[in-house]
Amino acid sequence: MNVKQYFPIKPRYYKSITYLYIVMVIFVTGVFYKLLAGQPVSLTINTLHSICLLIAITRKMRLAYKYMLALLAIIFLYVSLSISYVDLIDLSFVAFYLPLLYTYLLPDILSPIIFSILFSGIFYSYSDTYSSEQILGNTIGIISAATLYSVLSFLVARLYDSREMYKELSIRDSLTKLYNLDYVVKIGDDMLSNGKNVTIFVFDLDYFKSFNDTYGHLLGNNVLIQVAEKIEEEVSTCGGLAARLGGDEFITFVPELSDDEADALFKRISLALSELYIVSDPELEPVKISLSMGMAHSVSSEAQSIRELLNIADMNMYYHKHTKLYDLRALHTQDLEYVLNEEEKQLLKVLSEKDMYSYIHSKYVVQYTSWILDKININEVDKVNILKGAWLHDIGKLFISNEILRKSSNLSESEYSIVKEHVQSGVHLIQKFNISVKGINAIKYHHERWDGAGYPDGVKGEMTPIEGRVLQLADAFSAMTVKRVYRKVNDLDSAILEIKKNKATQFDPQLVDLFVEIVEEKLKQENLKVGA
């Protein structure tokens, strides 16, 4: 039985209340059995009365059926008492119990009162020992008690329902009906504090702004609703909780997964959502929607809070989005964060929180740097330190305002001067960490040029250490192929042509030849080629 629908008690008490009423029915049935002993017909009919009540209490059914059973029960009671020879005037408590029971069964106000009038008529129509005034007084008492409890029960039920409604509104997104971020963060933090591991998946719709601009926001909202339903469907099978982050982003929490289970679930959901067709309007063809996903697992990431875990998943999602949207799949290789210690990872995390695009850019810079270093036979210790520099080469941007970093129009001369200071700021900051000269040089020289026209020192040719020249090339290629608010993304063909164009002016000519060869080899492995 869905007791919540019929009784205004908090959910954890519903079963207890149900059991209490079952005991009450059984007890009163026992009283009648004792009174009606030796009267088998009355006893049988009264048993039917009790059975009707027990069915109405314990079975989940339509409300109309409960009213029918309640009416049938009182008919059986009336018949059993009318053919018996029992004086019921001394059992008035039973008459009070029945309206109480009917108030529990029937959610409206009037039904219990009507039944209490019928009960009082039944009970006092078979007694010759009390005066009419006493019978009237007891009848009024029964009706008054039933009325009071019925009204109070109704009011408390409405109050509880209103409280639940507003509570539900406060934790749900009004459009998609998924939970909101604050609610799932609280649930997730509770899981972590209780020693449970949590896996977070972050979803972001690709090109959703273009869809809104093309079809309008009403159809866009319809897409969000259907995507939310699909995401919830995918994660609900494994006990996950889905929420809307805002805009076109969604998040899910799945508890108690191992690393392997989390990876397998990531692949399954990614496959299920890879080709999602949404019917945004019955008069339009289904629209293909693609999503980018990111994942973070509390065990492998050692995150201390859901906010930290969410940031990791967000970085992962943005990286996958850029890899997919800007045709960089062929250039995606292994994760190289292993070169960073915990302090350096925290520093990188701060950068990602300030400017996610700088983090994504740095991740590609590290990959390209690693490829070049593998070809020029740098020893492993130096490679690790140079890769640290590649990860942190833009760390000086922490000291630049977001207003400048995210400015979509051309920078003024003074603003560009501020941006150029990020090199020296980064070097000064990194010197406080345990990074070798190789790593610091990679940061210090990554904006110099082969022809000496770079900054901050205008160093020329091979006067720039090899780690600086490698990073110049990796930084420029990543900057051309990763989206920024102030620059359009170049495709791989255009980026390679630009690198070749600046051979021996901006970049070391030997490194250019080597890097182009590496990229073409990577693309060949993916059955692609430059200029295709």
**Span 249-302, pLDDT tens digits:** 898 888 888 888 888 888 888 888 776 777 766 666 677 777 888 888 887 656
> Does the pLDDT value for residue 12 go beyond 80?
no
> Does the pLDDT value for residue 356 go beyond 70?
yes
Residue 311 lies in a domain: yes
Give yes or no: residues 21 and 164 share one domain: yes
The listed range with the strongest mean pLDDT (142-156, 218-232, 447-461, 479-493) is 447-461
Give yes or no: residues 35 and 14 share one domain: yes
Model pLDDT, residue 453: 94
Model pLDDT, residue 97: 61
Over residues 511-525, the mean pLDDT reads: 87
Model pLDDT, residue 503: 95
Give yes or no: residues 362 and 222 share one domain: no
What string of DSSP letters covers 254-289? EES--HHHHHHHHHHHHHHHHTEEE-S-TTSPPEEE
Give yes or no: residues 392 and 312 share one domain: no
Least confident interval from 115-129, 178-192, 291-305: 115-129
Give yes or no: residues 151 and 233 share one domain: no
> Does the pLDDT value for residue 8 go beyond 50?
no
Domain count for the chain, please give it. 3
Residue 325 lies in a domain: no
Q: Write down which residue in 129, 148, 170 finishes a domain.
A: 170
Over residues 451-471, the mean pLDDT reads: 94
Nearest to 397 by CA among 409, 406, 385, 388: 406
Over residues 321-349, the mean pLDDT reads: 69
What type of residue sits at position 91? L
> Does the pLDDT value for residue 10 go beyond 70?
no
DSSP designation for 434: S
Model pLDDT, residue 278: 72
Give yes or no: residues 247 and 391 share one domain: no
> Does the pLDDT value for residue 76 go beyond 70?
yes
* Tokens representing residue 343 in the block: 């302090």
Model pLDDT, residue 314: 82
pTM of the model: 0.54
Strands 241-246 and 179-180: parallel
Give yes or no: residues 361 and 449 share one domain: yes
Give yes or no: residues 292 and 195 share one domain: yes
pLDDT tens digits along 211-255? 777 667 777 888 888 888 888 888 887 878 888 888 888 988 888
What string of DSSP letters covers 171-225? HB-TTT-PEEHHHHHHHHHHHHHTT--EEEEEEEETTHHHHHHHH-HHHHHHHHH
Q: What is the mean pLDDT of the chain?
A: 78
> Does the pLDDT value for residue 313 go beyond 90?
no
Model pLDDT, residue 448: 95
Model pLDDT, residue 150: 65
Give yes or no: residues 56 and 159 share one domain: yes
d(CA 453, CA 226): 54
Give yes or no: residues 310 and 338 share one domain: no
Give yes or no: residues 379 and 525 share one domain: yes
> Does the pLDDT value for residue 479 go beyond 50?
yes
R_g of the chain, CA atoms, integer Å:
37
Residue 327 lies in a domain: no
Range of the domain at 301: 172-320
Q: What is the CATH number of the domain that holds 498?
A: 1.10.3210.10
Burial 442-453 (b: 16+ CB within 10 A, else e): bbbbbbbbbeee
Give yes or no: residues 373 and 444 share one domain: yes
pLDDT tens digits along 358-390? 888 888 899 999 999 999 988 999 999 999 999
